[in-house]
Amino acid sequence: MLQSIKGVYKDGAIKLAETPENIEESQVIVTFLEPKSKKQTKQIIGTSGQQLLRFVGEIVLEDLQLMSEAIEEHCEQIDLNEW
């Protein structure tokens, strides 16, 4: 059985993030990934919370409750007939 486990290579040694299951001894293939450069940053898309603060209190409480109920009732449901 093949297993993939993350790890870190540092100072000539590889430290695994977890212990392999049911393996006492085995050959391995180590693949070195390109290191992230400090210039590589994840681009944040959307609107900052600071910009949204101006809308605080603009939505009626009853509407907020209806939105919350709709989210709880309908989100993360799978309709198998939809596909």
Q: What is the pLDDT of residues 25-81, one digit of tens each?
A: 999 999 988 877 666 567 778 888 888 888 888 888 899 999 999 988 888 777 777
30: Cβ contacts below 8 Å, ≥ 6 apart: 9, 14
Number of folded domains in the chain? 1
User: Does a structural domain hold residue 60?
Assistant: yes
pTM: 0.39
Structural domain boundaries, residue 60: 50-75
User: Does a structural domain hold residue 55?
Assistant: yes
Element (H, E) at 7: strand 7-10
User: Does a structural domain hold residue 8?
Assistant: no
User: Does a structural domain hold residue 5?
Assistant: no
Angle at 44 between CA 38 and CA 46, to 5 degrees: 170
Sign of the C-alpha dihedral, residues 8, 31, 23, 3? positive
User: Does a structural domain hold residue 69?
Assistant: yes
